[in-house]
Amino acid sequence: MKVASLGECMIEFSQRSDGSFRRGFGGDTLNTALYLARLGIDTSYVTALGDDPLSEEMLAAWRSENIKTGLVIRASGRLPGLYMIQRDARGERTFLYWRDRAPARDFFELVDRDQLKRLAQFDWLYLSGISLSLYGEAGRARLRELLAATRQNGGKVAFDGNYRPRGWSDTATARRAFSEILPLVDLALPTFEDELALVGNETPDRCIERYRAVGVREIAVKLGPRGCVVTTGGDCIEVPPPKVVEPVDTTAAGDSFNAGYIAARINGAPPREAAAAGHRLAGAVIMLPGAVIPRASMPASVFRSGEKT
């Protein structure tokens, strides 16, 4: 099984406990791609970068994590975006962005037909609401064509809503973009808090029904410390985390949960066990600062005995 994750990676400055900042690389779909690769999934990252030294560092860092980069586009004279993470006493984070000229925003203007044909041959395409916010109307139209071609070829599409209001001109545009993409989604991994901000009068059950109504067959709604609710068309199953922890930094909690869930499903685990795998990985990630934890801090066993690995 081969997975391609589409979106944007930026230069990340993450605040340490002493107020200083650590430089790294991050982005929601890149975080998921990295954790998928660490879990043994054949993963490619798909984006556009510049031709600058920091873009080269990104590519080298991804390759060192066994992420394939053959479909990364290089844009001459451009620079990647930058973001800063500030954390409060509870570990909750605030993001500041400098990304308006990032080449990832122009991916579907830069990509050629042959590259799109290669993408449409993947077993899974993964993207998020942040991915949608990058591309603009024309780019999103080409994205929908790509997703439809992938499904026609027997592939599947996984989508995390990951709604960030600052990435959109207005809420109505975001709602329309989501409504256009959801009929092409096989696995939805929304965060309830994001759905509440996007839709308004929402409950987890209403969220699930809304996704079901447009044909999404498998849905895992992330509920923060409560865990998640999972359904594949029948009953809804609430899956709590194995233990409640006091987070150090919640950055990439949802991204890592998605990686654990998708990896488990690819390896044959049923949805309940896939959700438990997502919780185990996310539980480790939120106990350290930054989006990407050291390899040595990865949980010893995301997949429990009885689940395939």
Q: Which residues are catalytic?
A: 255
Give dist(CA 293, CA 291) in Å, integer. 7
For residue 9, give every residue at least 6 positions away whose Cβ sits within 8 Å of its Cβ, in sequence order, or none: 25, 26, 27, 30, 45, 47, 49, 58, 62, 80, 104
- Nearest-10 crossing angle of helices 253-266, 28-38: 40
119 with 150: CB under 8 angstroms?
A: yes
Q: Are 190 and 161 in contact (CB under 8 A)?
A: yes
User: 125: closest CA among 180, 47, 44?
Assistant: 44
* DSSP count for the chain of H helices, then E strands: 10, 14
Tell me the C-alpha distance between 299 and 285, whole Å.
Answer: 9
Query: Does an H or E element contain 159, and which?
Result: strand 156-160
Q: Which two tokens stand for residue 6?
A: 């589409």
Check: CB of residue 98 under 8 Å from CB of residue 83: yes
DSSP character for 125? E
